[in-house]
Amino acid sequence: LLVGSTSSDVYARGGLLTEANEVSNSLPVRDMISWTALMTGYAEHDHGNETLKCVEQLQLEGIHLNAATFVCTLKACGSTGAIAKGREMHGELIRMGLESDHLVSSSLVHMYAKCGSLREAQDVFDKLSAKDEVSWNALIAAYAQVGESESVFWMYERMLGEGKKPDLVTFVSVLTACSHAGLVDKGQLCFEALSSDCVSGPTLEHYTCMIDLLGRSGQVDKAVAMVMKMPIHPS
RNA sequence: GGAUCGAUGUUAUAG
């Protein structure tokens, strides 16, 4: 079981989903870890519908999902836009007392955001008893992706106001928002802030945001200079 | 005291 389940996981991670499924099918029993490995593989390689089929099969067999299966199911709902199923899962996981699990709750925020319901994403977020970095980032990133830059800045300020430290992922979203809003100066200030506050930054993503911001605002010369000077391999 | 112990969360760039 251990060898089979692990090799299914390896196939699934690499996107060899047919192989992953075959190996998983050949197992004497499929336990929850094997299910999750397969379902996560589907969810992360654009086969969220297959993840959801697994969920239905589990439900038919009367097997309850656990935190890990909820997480990959919510991801699949998000990537396929299956908001009705997502809401159903939301109700289910509350019944199972899993709403306070950090991985589950940030996945919920992410799911609603990916399904285009920023209202519900914000609502879930606001009601979280413990808001960790990832749930903040999931919501802020969602606003950045749809171009709601004002909401990004508002949430960012709120984060600072609550004494939370923005991390490298937060700054990617804030810089993205600056880029979409054409706020070069604000972007430069952020870039400097993260350069001094975050030990392991800036990353390639931050450079990409800054170069994008400079380029879009017409400062192509500065953008080029930044590409030449950056200490990371430009992609 | 530390590491490890089969599965799960958030991020960028033109077309």
Task: Please spell the DSSP secondary structure of A69-122, one letter per residue.
Answer: HHHHHHHHHHHHT-HHHHHHHHHHHHHTT-TT-HHHHHHHHHHHHHTT-HHHHH
Give the torsion sign (CA, A63, A67, A70, A72): negative
Between CA A194 and C1' B6 the distance (Å) reads 37
pLDDT of A20 > 90? The answer is yes
ipTM of the complex: 0.92
The model's pLDDT over A154-175, given as tens digits with 9 standing for 90+, comes to 999 999 999 999 999 999 999 9
In the prediction, which pLDDT does A92 show?
97
Q: How confident is the model at residue A199 (pLDDT cuts 50, 70, 90)?
A: confident
Question: Which bases in strand B are touched by protein, i.e. have an atom under 7 Å from a CB?
Answer: 6-14
pLDDT of A25 > 90? The answer is no
Tokens of A26: 């050949």
Between CA A84 and C1' B13 the distance (Å) reads 32
Q: Residue type at A172?
A: V
Between CA A134 and C1' B1 the distance (Å) reads 29
Rounded Cα gap, residues A30 and A24, in angstroms: 7
Rounded Cα gap, residues A191 and A197, in angstroms: 10
pLDDT of A38 > 90? The answer is yes
The total number of residues written for chain A in this structure: 235
User: Which residue is the nearest neighbor of B8, CA to C1'?
Assistant: A68
CA distances from residue A112 to A86, A136, A213 in whole angstroms, order as listed = 8, 14, 28
SS3 A18: helix
pTM reported for the whole predicted model: 0.94
Q: Residue A177 contacts by C-beta under 8 Å, 6 or more apart in sequence?
A: A143, A144, A149, A152, A153, A183
Nucleotide of closest approach to A6 (CA, C1'):
B6
In the prediction, which pLDDT does A53 show?
98
Give the torsion sign (CA, A12, A18, A22, A24): positive
Rounded Cα gap, residues A104 and A109, in angstroms: 9
Between CA A147 and C1' B14 the distance (Å) reads 17
Nucleotide of closest approach to A215 (CA, C1'):
B13
The model's pLDDT over A184-196, given as tens digits with 9 standing for 90+, comes to 999 999 999 999 9
The model's pLDDT over A76-134, given as tens digits with 9 standing for 90+, comes to 999 999 999 999 999 999 999 999 999 999 999 999 999 999 999 999 999 999 999 99
Nucleotide of closest approach to A4 (CA, C1'):
B6
Distance between alpha carbon A55 and the CA centroid of its chain, in Å? 21
Between CA A220 and C1' B8 the distance (Å) reads 42
User: Which residue is the nearest neighbor of B12, CA to C1'?
Assistant: A205
C-alpha angle A143/A146/A150, rounded to 5°? 50
Nucleotide of closest approach to A135 (CA, C1'):
B10
Nucleotide of closest approach to A71 (CA, C1'):
B8
In the prediction, which pLDDT does A185 show?
97
Between CA A193 and C1' B13 the distance (Å) reads 22
Specify burial of residue A196 (Cβ count, 10 A radius: 0-12, 13-18, 19+).
Answer: exposed
Between CA A59 and C1' B12 the distance (Å) reads 38
Q: Residue type at A83?
A: I
